Structure 1
Amino acid sequence: MSLRPPSHLAGASAAEAAFDALGHEILAEKAAALGRAGQRVEETLARLRDNSDEQLRPRFLKDAAEAVHGYFIQRELCGLRKHDAVIREYNIPKAVLVRLGAK
């Protein structure tokens, strides 16, 4: 009886194995960055919702729009192109979306 290595390992050079390890590290960093961006969205939206001072509202809207924009970009870098579910999940106000050019 003979044993063969798995097909994904057969013929893999050390350079290919190192590249695969680098690819996994890049994916892990993308996921971590997406998590941080999502947390920033949550924080800025909470600040916007909890705000009762009309003079600070434009600043909070700007902060929330920047956070959502960054989050959308990070999602797209991860290959996630549709944002409808995220908009519903985070309950992103139209006032923030309008600043992004969305309707």
Structure 2
Amino acid sequence: MDHEIAAEKAASLGRAGDRVKRALQHLAEAEQASPTRNALLKDAAEAVYAYFIQRELCGLRRHHDAIREYQIPREVLARLGAS
């Protein structure tokens, strides 16, 4: 049963990571002056926040590697209260 829980945690983390990738890609594709940029920034911040929570549920408390791996922009991290 423990392995089933671990498998579901890993699958959930993977889905959350996929959402981060999509949200960050949409944000990167948007023009700086685009009227949808603020909404895309909000979506990216929400996706990253959910991903960080899922990581913490998996026992991964430090997010530096994820920030580097996904190349999460400072403007997204600022929305989360990070710098």
Which interval holds the TM-score relative to the shorter structure?
over 0.9
Deviation at 1:40, TM superposition (A): 0.2
Aligned sequence identity (%): 61
Segments of structure 2 that go 5 or more residues without pairing to the other structure are none
Q: Which has the larger radius of gyration?
A: 1
Match of 2:11 among 32, 37, 46: 32
3-state SS in 1 of match to 2:62: coil
Residue of structure 2 in register with 1:45 after alignment: 24
Q: TM-score, normalized by length of structure 1? A: 0.77
Alignment of 1:95 onto 2:63: no
- Give the count of matched residue pairs: 82
Aligned to 1:82, what secondary structure does the other structure show? coil
Q: Which 4+ runs in 1 deviate beyond 2 A?
A: none
Gaps of 5+ in 1: 1-21
Give the TM-score of the pair, scaled to structure 2. Answer: 0.95
2:49 to 62, 65, 69: 69
More helix by share: 2
Question: Alpha carbon RMSD of aligned pairs, Å?
Answer: 0.8
